C-alpha cells in the first residue's frame, strides 16, 4: 500500500523556509512495509539502548524499510529524517538524519539506515551519533509520534558531507528542495 500524507505543520513550515519547497507534494509517494501510516511502530525498530533514566528501550535498533515513487522531475538526491515532536518535553528529538540517497534506488531496505554505507550518508541524531536511533519514549508517556520525511532535492548524491545535524541539513538544503512527503508511526512503552 502506498501512502501519501501531507507534511505536518512544523516540517512543512521548515521546508518552506528552505526556499522553493511546497507543503503539498503533488504525486510524490512514500510508503513503508515496516509500519502503516498512523500505525504502531514495532519494537524491532525501537532503540536498542537505554533511555536517559537508564531503562532499556526494548528494541533491536533496526531502521525501517522506506520506499518512494513519483518523485518530482529534476530530483537528484533524497534526504530522510525521523523526528519525534513529542520528545524532550515537547521540544522534539531528532532520531535519524540521512541524505545523499540516489533516488533511482527506490527504497532503503530494513537496516540500511543503522550505519554508514549502503549508498546513504548519515547525519547526527540526538545522541550525536551518525546512525539511526530508534524510538525510546519515557516509560508511561502516551505513545510518541515519529514523523519520517523524505525530501526530494536538486543536489547530487555526493554533495553533502557526513555528520550533519538536522538543522545543518536544513541549512544545506535551502534553495535546493523540490518536494517532500511524510509518514507517521506511533510508539510507546
CB of 113 within 8 A of CB of 100?
no
User: β-strands 77-84, 107-108: how paired?
Assistant: unpaired
**Is pLDDT above 50 for 2?**
no
Closest to 112 in 3D by CA, of 134, 93, 131: 131
Q: How confident is residue 116, by pLDDT bands cut at 50, 70 and 90?
A: low
Tracing cell 545535524 back to the chain, one arrives at 165
Residues of the chain above pLDDT 70, percent: 85
Mean pLDDT of the chain: 88
**pLDDT reported for residue 126:** 95
**pLDDT reported for residue 41:** 97
Interval 4-28: pLDDT, tens? 444 444 444 444 444 433 344 459 9
The average pLDDT across 115-142 equals 91
Of the listed ranges 9-23, 33-47, 112-126, the one predicted with least confidence: 9-23
CATH code for the domain defined by 9-187: 3.90.280.10
pTM: 0.85
Ranges of each domain in the chain? 9-187
Interval 129-175: pLDDT, tens? 999 999 999 999 999 999 999 999 999 999 999 999 999 999 999 99
The larger pLDDT score, comparing residue 80 to residue 50, is at 80
**Is pLDDT above 80 for 115?**
no
Distance between CA atoms of residues 153 and 163, nearest Å: 18
Amino acid at each position: 500500500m502506498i501512502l501519501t500524507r501531507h507534511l505536518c505543520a512544523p516540517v512543512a513550515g521548515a521546508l518552506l523556509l528552505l526556499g522553493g519547497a511546497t507543503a503539498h507534494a503533488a504525486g510524490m509517494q512514500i510508503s513503508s512495509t515496516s509500519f502503516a501510516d498512523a500505525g504502531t511502530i514495532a519494537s524491532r525498530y525501537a532503540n536498542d539502548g537505554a533511555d536517559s533514566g537508564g531503562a532499556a528501550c526494548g528494541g533491536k535498533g533496526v531502521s525501517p524499510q522506506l520506499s518512494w515513487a513519483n518523485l518530482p522531475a529534476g530530483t537528484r538526491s533524497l534526504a530522510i529524517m525521523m523526528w519525534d515532536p513529542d520528545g524532550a518535553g515537547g521540544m522534539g528529538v531528532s532520531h535519524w538524519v540521512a541524505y545523499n540517497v540516489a533516488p533511482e534506488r527506490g527504497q532503503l531496505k530494513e537496516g540500511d539506515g543503522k550505519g554508514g554505507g549502503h549508498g546513504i550518508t548519515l547525519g547526527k541524531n540526538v545522541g550525536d551519533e551518525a546512525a539511526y536511533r530508534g524510538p525510546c519514549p519515557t516509560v508511561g508517556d502516551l505513545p510518541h509520534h515519529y514523523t519520517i520525511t523524505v525530501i526530494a532535492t536538486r543536489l547530487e548524491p555526493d554533495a553533502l558531507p557526513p555528520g550533519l545535524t538536522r538543522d545543518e541539513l536544513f541549512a544545506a538544503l535551502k534553495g535546493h528542495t523540490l518536494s517532500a512527503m511524510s509518514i507517521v508511526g506511533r510508539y510507546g512503552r
